Structure 1
Amino acid sequence: MTSSVFLISLLLLSLSSAVFSDDASFQKLPIPGKRSGPEAFAFDTIGKAFFTGVSGGKILKYTADKGFEDFAEITTTSNSSWCNGIIGTALAGKCGRPAGIAFNPKTGDLYVADAPLGLHVIPPAGGLATKIADSVDGKPFKFLDGLDVDPTTGVVYFTSFSSKFSPSEVLIAVGLKDASGKLFKYDPATKAVTVLMEGISGGAGCAVSSDGSFVLVTEFIKSNIKRYWITGPKAGSTEDVTSSVSNPDNIKRIGATGNFWVASVKNKVVVPTDPSAVKIDYNGKVLQTISLKNEFGDTLLSEANELDGKLYIGTLTGPFAGIMKL
C-alpha cells in the first residue's frame, strides 16, 4: 500500500481517466458490492483460491466457481452498512483497511498488516481477525503497509510506510519525503515484535527470499529497494539493492526462482502514471517490465503476484482485480 499509500485524490482522478484494455489475455474481476481496492493477494496452499483485502476492512476469498465471497473482517464494524462504499482511509480507524496479507502455509493462518489498526491474524476458517499488535516498545505503528511470511520458519515480516504520519496524511508524508518507515519482525513462537530496520522512505512492501536468507523492502518515496540480511555473514545488516524501479509498491517472490515482481508507477504531481509490473532478480537487476497502462490507465498499482503462469494485479482503490496470462 503506497500500500499500500492512500493517494485518494490522485486515484479518483486516475480512475476517472482510465482506459481499459479488451486484451483476451487479461481478465477483470470486479469487486462485489460497494467495496474496492484489492490491494494485495494471498493464495491457499493448493492454488485454488486467492484472498485479498478491500476497503471497509474486509478480506474476500475468490474461487473460479463461486467468485468473490466474504472470508474475514478486521473489526466487528467491518460488516456494518456504513463500512461499505468506503474509499481510501475514510473510517479506516473504525472499519479497518487491510494492506499486506500472507499465509503461513504450515498453519493456514492468514496474517494481515492493517494500515491504521496494526498486525492481525485470521484463522484458517476465516471470521473476525485477532489483533496481535498495534505498537512496539510503546510506539504506535501509525501506518502499516507490506507483509510477508517466511514459509519455512513462519516468521512474519512487515513494514510501516511511516512512523510519523497516518494513512490519511500520506500526501504530507510523500511531499516531505518522510523517511520514518520501519521493517518489523513478528515471531509466532515467542509472540515478540521487534524492529529490524529504521529510516525507510515509504516502506510499501517486503518479501522474504525463497531460501529465507534475506528480506527485500521497497521504498516508495525514494524509488529504492533495500535488503535486510536474515542469515549468513551479513546477518542483521542492510544494503541498497536497486533504484531502477520507479516508486515501488508491493514486492512478491516468484516461487523458488530467486526473482521478484514489483508493482511500479511514476509518481507525478497530479496522478501516478505508467503503471507496470517489473521483474527483478535477487540483486535488483531488471529482467522484465510489463506495461499495464492499457489495462489500468493511470492508476496506482499496489501489487503484481505470480502463480501458475498468471499475474494477479491489485490497485489501491480500483474497482477490480486483474489477472494477466504470462
Structure 2
Amino acid sequence: MVPIFLLFLCLSYAAEAHLFHSFEKIQLPTPGSEAYAFDSKNRGPYTGLNDGRIVKYEGPEFGFVEFASTSPNRTKEFCDGKDGNDPSNGPKCGRPIGLEFNHKTNELYIIDAYRGLMVVGRSGGIATRLAGGRDGVPFDAPDAIAIDPITGAVYFTDVGNIFFKTNNMTEILLSGDTSGRLLKYNPKTKQRTVVLTGLAVPNGAVVSKDGSFVLVAEYIACRIIRFWIKGPKANTTDIFVNLPGNPDNIKRTRSGDFWVPVNIQKLQPKLTSFPLGQKINEHGQILETVNFYAEYNSTYVTEVQEHRGSLYVASVYTDFVGVYRGLKC
C-alpha cells in the first residue's frame, strides 16, 4: 500500500510551461464562479454565482451586471449573498454551474445543480427548464455542458450518485465511483437520451470543432475519454489522454485545440491542490502546461478558457475571475 502522505492521485507531471505578461483579477459580486461563457460578439465573460445569479461582465467601468437566473422563485432579498450550494437555499435561489452559448441561436444553455438543463435567450431573464432530473431519465448531479457546433445538440454530464453518499472530496477521490453518465438533449425533438454510462465522476465535456466527437473529463480517473459522434468510429469510445492530475471543465479554442484544468492533489495533512492548465490538440497530445500556483497557491481550479489572447481561469473557491494576459494564439 502506498502511504497516504505520498499519495498523489495520478501521475507526476512534466510539460512545457508558458510565460504570461500579466495576471489580472476581475472582482465578482460573490464567490462560486465555476465556468465562463462568451457570446457571439465576444462579450463577457458570463458566469454563475453561488447565490444563483448569472452575471455578465460589462467592462471595468460597470463590472458584472445581472443577466439571468435559473429559479422563478428567486428574490434578491432572500438570495443575494446566500450560499446556493446549501440545499436549504439552492432550490429557491438556483445554482448555475455549467454555461455554454449556442452561437447560431445566441441562446445560453445552463446546467443548474437543482433544476437541470436550462436555456435563456439573448436578453437574459428567467431561464426555461428543458430537462429536469425526474422526467424519465433521472440524473443525480448534473454538472458539465457542451454544445455540438454543427448540429446544436446539447451534451451534459451527470457526475453520479456518489454525491448522495458523501460531500467529502477525499472520500470521493478514493471511492472508485463509476455511476456517472453522459446525456444528450436534442433541441429540435426535445428528447433526452443517455449516451455513456460507467463514468468516473464526469465533470467536464466539450464537442470537437467539426462535431465528430465529444470529450468527457473523468475526475477520479485522471483522464479524458472520447466518444465518436460520427465517422467510421461512430458510437465507440477510446481514451483521449491520460492526465497528471484531476481534470474539470474542458473548453475548445478557436483553432480546435482544448484547455483543461488539471489539479494535482494530495491528501495529507489535508486535501490540497497543485493547479495547472494544459492545452491539448485534437489528437490528444499535450501542447503546453501552465502553472497557476503563484497566483492560486493550492486553490482548486475548475476551468481554463482561452479567449482573444488571454486565459480566463475559474475557481468556485475564489471571488474573482483570473485573467492571464499575453497569450500568443
Q: Which residue of 1 aligns with 2:178?
A: 179
1:274 equivalent in alignment to 2:271: no
Q: Which residue of 1 aligns with 2:224?
A: 225
Q: Which residue of 2 aligns with 1:260?
A: 258
**Bigger Cα displacement from structure 2, 261-270 vs 74-83:** 74-83
SS in 1 for 2:294: helix
Report if the CA contact (8 A) 1:58-1:78 is conserved. no
Q: Which residue of 1 aligns with 2:128?
A: 130
Query: 1:68 is aligned with what amino acid?
Result: F
Distance 1:148 1:136 in 2: 21
Query: 2:39 is aligned with what amino acid?
Result: D
Change (3 A) 1:193 1:163: farther
Distance 2:138 2:93 in 1: 18
Distance 2:291 2:211 in 1: 30
Unpaired runs of at least 5, structure 1: 1-22
Distance 1:115 1:267 in 2: 24
Q: CA deviation at 1:152?
A: 2.2
Report if the CA contact (8 A) 1:89-1:167 is conserved. no
1:44 equivalent in alignment to 2:36: no
The aligned runs of 1:189-228 (5 Å cut-off) are 189-228=188-227
SS in 2 for 1:111: strand
Whose strand proportion is higher, 1 or 2? 1
Q: CA deviation at 1:174?
A: 3.3
Q: Which residue of 2 aligns with 1:311?
A: 311
Superposition TM-score, scaled by structure 1 size: 0.87
Report if the CA contact (8 A) 1:245-1:278 is conserved. no
Change (3 A) 1:213 1:297: same
SS in 1 for 2:91: helix
Q: Which residue of 2 aligns with 1:291?
A: 291
1:31 equivalent in alignment to 2:28: yes
Unpaired runs of at least 5, structure 2: 1-19
Distance 1:252 1:151 in 2: 13
Superposition TM-score, scaled by structure 2 size: 0.86
The aligned runs of 1:133-152 (5 Å cut-off) are 133-135=131-133, 138-152=136-150
Distance 1:124 1:168 in 2: 37
Distance 1:87 1:174 in 2: 24
SS in 1 for 2:114: coil
Report if the CA contact (8 A) 2:94-2:114 is conserved. yes
Q: Which residue of 2 aligns with 1:19?
A: none
Cα shift readout 1:132-156 (whole Å, capped 9, x = no counterpart):
1113763432211111112221111
RMSD between aligned residues: 1.9
Change (3 A) 1:268 1:303: same
Q: CA deviation at 1:78?
A: 3.5
